[in-house]
Structure 1
């Protein structure tokens, strides 16, 4: 697809001429020479970039001294960094169902084998 560059004034002119509200995703469609614009949705797909890990080998405290070392592996028993998982804990202080995103996988085996992948 061709890339077109224009000024902010031209983008605002196109947006007001077409009667569109001021939003980031609609401003991106009004850049350059726009004659007619058909909008098929009222809400764009919202995403959040989470990343899949870090190259940082250890975490530091507020003074810069190493506190915790990171693991080298990114997957373990089919679970990977960034996966959405749910853990069912039948008893204990933290009993219940917990759903969340894995920030770091462990080198050793799981102490609780009730974790399942969500998606």
Structure 2
């Protein structure tokens, strides 16, 4: 599981682990921006550029697999079931 992160100007940053997000929220260094998908927004501007995230699709006859990958780690994954079968 990963939590999506935005800086003060709503620029996307690298996702973080839920433990790190919980610490930032408890220390009032971040606030909840959206519940689904869970996203936090930092209270300061960050100048670093995040590592790019790629989308991988695995089309199938009955379901399609979708994954967001950053480097070697899977940030988000889902399965889409096709209608009409």
Q: Same fold (TM over 0.5)?
A: no
Larger Rg: 1
Q: Give the TM-score, by structure 2 length.
A: 0.23
Q: Give the TM-score, by structure 1 length.
A: 0.18
